Amino acid sequence: MKMTEVVAALIWDGERFLACQRPAHKARGLLWEFVGGKVEPGESKAEALVRECREELAVTVAVGELFWETTHAYPDLTVHLSLYNARITEGTPQLLEHAALRWVAKEEIDTLPFCPADEPILERLKRI
């Protein structure tokens, strides 16, 4: 199966990070995830992340260092996910694509059903 390059943003507000709930009609509908998406041909990972945050949340982000990389095989695709620390430099997150947005404290991680590819990231977040 072809590998799909995906980027996502770990955006913090104090001790909480931003989580987004996938739309019901999409694959992995209503599961929670980090904002992001596919890297388009000719884009760097940072450029893709800036574009995705603008398209999905109407915010501009500054992309920081890589937080985590993982590969996960779903039944319909295999993703190589690169999660970057990012901060919002302009705008307030809006629901343009997702069903819901939520700032999540580490203690709340286990209360939300996240996409399976995010599980190793969430385990690391619980430990920091």
Dump strand ranges (E) for the chain: 3-13, 16-21, 32-33, 36-38, 60-73, 78-90, 100-105
- The answer to whether residue 1 scores a pLDDT higher than 80 is no
Average pLDDT over residues 86-101: 97
Q: Is the dihedral of CA 71, 73, 79, 83 positive or negative?
A: negative
> What pLDDT shows up at residue 2?
83
What are the domain boundaries of the chain?
3-127
The superfamily CATH assigns to domain 3-127 is Nucleoside Triphosphate Pyrophosphohydrolase (3.90.79.10)
Give the pLDDT confidence of 2-60 residue by residue, as tens digits: 899 999 999 999 999 999 999 999 989 899 999 999 999 999 999 999 999 999 999 99
Average pLDDT over residues 118-123: 96
Q: Is the dihedral of CA 71, 30, 24, 40 positive or negative?
A: negative
Model confidence, pTM: 0.94
Average pLDDT over residues 64-92: 96
Rounded Cα–Cα distance for residues 91 and 73 (Å): 34
